[in-house]
């Protein structure tokens, strides 16, 4: 198990998954206010809401030794979004659990970056972090995110109605994917 206050960095072929820098706040807020990036979310984020995502990520590293990493393209040094681990705070029958998730600026889509960063996050989750299972979920409409889940070996478990969205909301129906340590190990 990782210790609290552990702040690891992960390196892949093309990416650096690192701790957040002051210079990330502005481009992160811009992507969270981009209607294309936020198509499958109920609302665009304000600057304060965007900043709060970073603050929660840092708090989780402090508390559990894992979190959402800021993702940077090694070759250019460009910040492109986040990938990593989070602990959902709403109530649902499959929670508590650790979630794996990703959000990239649209200019970075279509390169395999989310999948590459997610594979490194999985290896961290089932390696140093010592987790036994991860979940991932998204609106049923969000096919690109579901393709990332499938590419990294997650299995569709069920669909559910997100409890924070009102009945009939266009994004209420969600998919839930899971991957266990045993499934991940057998794919290595």
| Among the listed residues 28, 138, 154, 177, the single contact to ligand COA using CB under 6 A | 138
Stretch that binds ligand COA, among 42-50, 90-98, 141-149, 161-169 (CB under 6 A): 141-149
Residue 103 near ligand COA by CB under 6 A: yes
Could you tell me which of 117, 120, 114, 181 has the C-alpha nearest to residue 154?
Answer: 181
In the shown chain, the binding pattern of residues 36 to 55 toward ligand COA, with x for contact by CB under 6 A and - for none, equals -x--x---------------
Q: How many residues bind ligand COA (CB under 6 A)?
A: 19
Which among 52-60, 61-69, 95-103, 123-131 is the span making contact with ligand COA, rule CB under 6 A?
95-103
Cβ closest to ligand COA, residue 21 vs residue 143: 143
Cα separation, 89 vs 144, in Å, equals 24
Q: Is 102 in the site for ligand COA (CB under 6 A)?
A: yes
Nearer to ligand COA, 36 or 48 (CB): 36
Q: Is 186 exposed, middle or buried (0-12, 13-18, 19+ CB in 10 A)?
A: exposed
Query: CA 8, 182, 132, 103 torsion: positive or negative?
Result: positive
CB of 31 to ligand COA, least distance (A): 8
């Amino acid at each position: 198990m990782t210790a609290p206050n552990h702040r690891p960095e992960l390196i892949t072929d093309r990416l650096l998954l690192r701790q957040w820098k002051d210079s990330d706040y502005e481009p992160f807020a811009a992507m969270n206010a981009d209607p294309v990036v936020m198509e499958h979310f109920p609302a665009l984020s304000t600057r304060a809401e965007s900043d709060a995502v970073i603050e929660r990520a840092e708090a989780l590293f402090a508390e559990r030794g894992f979190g959402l990493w800021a993702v940077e393209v090694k070759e250019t040094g460009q910040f492109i979004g986040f990938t990593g681990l989070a602990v959902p705070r709403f109530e649902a029958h499959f929670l508590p659990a650790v979630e794996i998730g990703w959000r990239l600026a649209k200019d970075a889509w279509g390169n395999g970056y989310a999948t590459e960063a997610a594979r490194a996050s999985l290896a961290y989750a089932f390696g140093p972090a010592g987790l036994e299972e991860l979940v991932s979920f998204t609106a049923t409409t969000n096919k690109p995110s579901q393709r990332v889940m499938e590419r990294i070996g997650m299995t569709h478990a069920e669909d559910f109605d997100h409890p924070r969205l009102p009945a009939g909301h266009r994004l209420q129906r969600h998919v839930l994917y899971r991957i266990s340590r045993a499934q991940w190990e057998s794919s290595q």
